[in-house]
Amino acid sequence: MYGTVARIRVRPGMETQFEAVSREIGMGRSPGQVAVYVYQMDSDSREFYLTAIFESREAYVANAQSPEQNDRFMKLMAVLESEPEWHDGEIIYHT
């Protein structure tokens, strides 16, 4: 399995809109996607971490390069303070 962890910073006052956009764009519905988790930090309500897990690196890359994912990403960027910090890698352990 392969995936990404992203640190996301939402514009001030846009936390609810971020949640709505996340649901609207269907995080977790891409081909080859196993799971998506979004965490809102206790220490800062504008900071979120997203974890997306895919069946393979190939599925992850295919999703990242798709026009559909670009459209979803542009909708998400409308409520973000800046572009997410992406940290991609092979999943070496899970239960």
| Tens digit of each residue's pLDDT (9 = 90 or more) over 61-71 | 999 999 999 99
Contacts of 93 (CB under 8 A, 6+ apart): none
User: What is the separation, in whole angstroms, between the first and last Cα of the chain?
Assistant: 12
Pick the CATH number of 2-90 from 3.40.50.720, 3.40.109.10, 3.30.70.100, 3.40.50.300: 3.30.70.100
Give the pLDDT band (50/70/90) at residue 92: very high
Structure tokens at 58: 């190939």
pTM over 0.85: yes
- Which pLDDT does position 23 carry in this prediction? 83
Give the pLDDT band (50/70/90) at residue 25: confident
- Which pLDDT does position 27 carry in this prediction? 58
Q: What is the spatial distance between Cα 7 and Cα 64, in angstroms, rounded to a whole number? A: 17
Residue with tokens 């979803």: 72
| Other Cβ atoms within 10 Å of 81 Cβ, number | 13
* Mean pLDDT, all residues of the chain: 93
- Which pLDDT does position 14 carry in this prediction? 95
26 pLDDT above the threshold of 70: no
5 and 87 Cβ atoms separated by less than 8 Å? yes
